[in-house]
Structure 1
Amino acid sequence: MRLLHTSDWHLGRGLHRVSLLDAQRDALEHLVRVAVEREVDAVLVAGDVYDRAVPPLPAVRLFDDVLHRLAGHRVPAVIISGNHDSPHRLGVAAGLIGRAGIHLRTDPAACGTPVVLADQHGPVALYGIPYLEPALTREEFGTDRAGHREVLSAATDRIRADLATRPPGTRSVVLAHAFVTGGVGSDSERDITAGGASAVPASLFDGIDYTALGHLHGAQTITERVRYSGSPLAYSFSEAGHRKSMWLVELGPGGEIDAERVDWPVPRPLSRIRGRIDRLLADPAHTPAEQHWTEATLTD
């Protein structure tokens, strides 16, 4: 099965008061094009569809448009809410939208109920764990402590319990929005620290064939089976060195993983330069930055 792992679209977000809506539109058109040309079996969006709980109307229209495009090409999508999203707003009409192959997973109570797809090798169960705010989900999962590790561990326990009831050979995919130990953050991610700790170990996902993570904005591999796709665009100058990409994941008949990075289009590069203003203005080495969004630190 071929999966296209993305996350952290942050529709409606800008860069230092510059609107990125046109760049986001170009990125999502590229996403649909890749999904169709590479014949993917499902698009995964691991949270933070929007940049805030009440997104601006143009961002909502853009999201609506990409869902219609995917459904029109009969490309299923599994989407979870992130810490920037309002799960209740994002999940409106989820049952109805699911009939078109667009599966919104925003309710923590439903994390053990998968979207089941199939290929020539059998079924694949895709589980969505939306962002779990410990203080708000502790009661749902019956944990002793309101911590990220505790609630996420309880959620993955539910997934394993459901997976144990599935036919032998059923492959598993989990979408989660969390800070996993070993990941490298950037300045544009909202802090999710609770009780003094936010990171959870990758071992929580042991036994899952592939875990599609969201929250961190840089594409990175925690383990072969646990990966962040990162955001499609740079949302802070700390991401100037990022290669923005999504993961095209081939899930083999026995759960084997083959992952390929597919680049997002770059609307305008970012540069970070530092020095005295006279040198910055005169040094030809900085000529490329004239066409970039540039952060200049003056040392005068």
Structure 2
Amino acid sequence: MKFLHLADLHLGKRVNGFDLLEDQRFILEQVLALCDEHDVEAVLLAGDIYDAPVPPASACTLLDWFLTQLAGRRIPVLAIAGNHDSAERLDFAAGLLAAQGVHLAGRFTGAPRQIVLNDRHGPVEFTLLPFVRAATVRHFLPDADLPDYDSAVAAALGACQPAAPRRVLLAHQMVVAGVCPPQLSGSETAPLTVGTVDSIDASRFDGFAYAALGHIHRAQRVGSDTVRYAGAPLCYHLDECGTEKSVTLVDLGRRGVEDIQLLPLIPRRAMRHLTGPLAKLTEHPTDTGDYIWATLTDPTPLPDAMAALRAAYPNAMRLDYQPRGSAAGPADAALAVRGKPFAELFQDFFTQMNGRPLTIEEARAVKQLREEAAKA
């Protein structure tokens, strides 16, 4: 079975006041073209389908169009709620949509939903675990010993029995590999705690042939090739300028995953960071429709600089100054560490102080101390 793994669509999102709905439709049209090109048999949406619990009507219309296009191709959809979604709204008409091959899991109600699809090798179980908090799991499993987030998710997964030999998980959580956190982009929002009760170890997913993750906006593996974040399909923060985006194509064979490909997605408008004097940046502009973050190196601020920049680049999003020869300010230092989890910050600090990285045993000790401090 070939399936596409997407996540973090964030339909309806605005960046620096700019509505990205046209950009999002442009990307979804590419996804549909990839479905046709690669004979895709299922599409997985691993949470944060919308950017807000109450999305604008235009975002709902866009999702309706996308799901209708997939249903018309007879491609099943398996989707879960993320922390940005309203679980109750996503569950609306879920039973009716399931009859059309669109399987939605918004709320966690004691056990993940399990959907079984069939390919030429037999049944494949898709386990749909929406974004869930430890308190929610404790509510449904009051007798279980669930001291932290990791054990709560393990208990949630343990509440369902395997329905097929080949199993695929959809989850929207912060997942780590031991003490190694995922690489963050600039656009993720809380909760993103690593090394504490808010993270889950990837080893919890060992029983699945593939774990399709959402929540982190940079595409990456977590510990193994078969535990992956798809990443967001578009740049959703100026810190992500120049980042290449993709969708993950997974080929599931008789005995498990046989191939994984990252298929590139080309944005309608790129997000770029330009640096230089205002006159030089606007003298011969290129790709003028792109989203622009400009850092001006003029010695003093210029009057109406943003107006001049937007005359050349109508979609300029941000303008700041860093005169040539000036040292990076506190804002730049903050930008360098923004989004870095505790484990990575501590690793950097330890390396600077001792001239070597943490050993595996030391990293485990740090993680244990961090968890104990969080419980105190």
TM-score normalised by length of structure 1: 0.89
- Where structure 1 has 5 or more consecutive residues not aligned to the other structure, the ranges are none
Give yes or no for contact 1:111–1:128 (8 Å, CA) kept in 2: no
Give yes or no for contact 2:238–2:271 (8 Å, CA) kept in 1: yes
Deviation beyond 6 Å, 4+ runs, structure 1: 283-286
Instruction: Give the match's secondary structure for 1:150.
Output: helix
What's 2:157 paired with? 156
TM superposition shift of 1:144: 4.0
CA-to-partner distance for each residue in 1:205-263, whole Å, 9 max, x for gaps?
11210000001111111211101111111110122232110110001100133101112
- Where structure 2 has 5 or more consecutive residues not aligned to the other structure, the ranges are 296-320, 324-376
What's 1:118 paired with? 118
CA distance in 2, matches of 1:210, 1:281: 51
RMSD, matched Cα? 2.3
Deviates more, 1:175-184 or 1:135-144: 135-144
CA-to-partner distance for each residue in 1:117-140, whole Å, 9 max, x for gaps?
111111100011000022333212
Identity of aligned residues (%): 37
The partner residue of 2:175 within 180, 192, 215 is: 180
What's 1:264 paired with? 265
CA distance in 2, matches of 1:215, 1:173: 17
Q: Determine which structure has more spread, i.e. the larger CA radius of gyration.
A: 2
Instruction: Give the match's secondary structure for 2:267.
Output: coil
Higher-RCO chain (CA-CA 8 Å, sequence separation at least 6): 1
CA distance in 2, matches of 1:111, 1:103: 15
- Report matched runs for 1:95-110 at 5 Å: 95-109=95-109
TM superposition shift of 1:110: 6.0
CA distance in 2, matches of 1:291, 1:22: 13
TM superposition shift of 1:291: 5.0
Amino acid at match of 2:183: V
Inter-CA distance 202–91: structure 2 relative to 1 (3 Å threshold): same
What's 2:82 paired with? 82
Amino acid at match of 1:224: D
Inter-CA distance 244–286: structure 2 relative to 1 (3 Å threshold): farther
TM superposition shift of 1:266: 1.1
Amino acid at match of 2:200: V
What's 2:4 paired with? 4
TM-score normalised by length of structure 2: 0.72
What's 2:25 paired with? 25
What's 1:71 paired with? 71
TM superposition shift of 1:290: 5.4
Instruction: Give the match's secondary structure for 1:109.
Output: coil
What's 1:202 paired with? 202
What's 2:189 paired with? 190
Instruction: Give the match's secondary structure for 2:109.
Output: helix
What's 1:239 paired with? 240
